[in-house]
């Protein structure tokens, strides 16, 4: 496992006017029942910020014009896949992810959210949650990343 690289990834913590964070319920049967913030791989040559906003738009239908980017994590956060997903996820190419995270304010309304904006969709439902609840909603192997994000961004929310 230590010989495999981390998959480059960008994520977005989107906060509404009530200071609650967007989470989507994963459709993926391996992680169904868990909730996560929009995130995904960075394409070759793509800027990290552009990737985060692209992933946000793909997974939520929210246009960049409806988002005010506030902050970025000073360094990427990492997680390793659990043994049962190692060699399975991402065709076995990666040991986990190196994630660059952004915080932004949502300037729109729930009417601007479209979980089917991308084919196939990633989420089958969404909700707005207290930021302190985030680590309890994500799959266990990503909890340390979500704890670090809450620590980093809480004062800005």
pLDDT at 127 over 90: yes
Place of tokens 């946000």: 56
Task: Indicate whether this model's pTM tops 0.85.
Answer: yes
4: left (phi over 0), alpha (psi -120 to 50) or beta: beta
pLDDT at 90 over 90: no
Indicate the pLDDT class of residue 2, thresholds 50, 70 and 90: confident
pLDDT at 31 over 70: no
| CA-CA-CA-CA torsion sign (136, 151, 59, 82) | negative
Residue pair 47/22 in contact by the 8 Å Cβ criterion:
no
Domains and CATH numbers, the chain: 6-156 (3.90.79.10)
Q: Which residue has the higher pLDDT, 141 or 30?
A: 141
Smallest Cα–Cα separation from 117: which of 157, 70, 57?
57
Please give the pLDDT value at position 32. Answer: 65
């Amino acid at each position: 496992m230590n010989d495999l690289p981390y998959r480059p990834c960008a994520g977005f913590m989107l906060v509404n006017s009530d200071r609650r964070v967007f989470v989507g319920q994963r459709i993926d049967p391996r992680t169904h029942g868990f909730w996560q913030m929009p995130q995904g791989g960075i394409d070759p040559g793509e800027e990290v910020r552009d990737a985060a906003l692209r992933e946000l738009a793909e997974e939520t239908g929210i246009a960049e014009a409806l988002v005010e980017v506030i902050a970025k994590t000073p360094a990427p956060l990492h997680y390793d896949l659990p043994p049962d997903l190692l060699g399975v996820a991402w065709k076995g190419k990666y040991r986990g992810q190196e994630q660059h995270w952004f915080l932004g304010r949502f300037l729109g309304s729930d009417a601007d959210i479209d979980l089917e904006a991308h084919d196939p969709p990633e989420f089958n439902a969404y909700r707005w949650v207290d930021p302190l609840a985030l680590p309890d909603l994500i799959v266990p192997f990503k909890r340390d990343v979500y704890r670090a994000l809450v620590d980093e961004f809480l004062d800005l929310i």
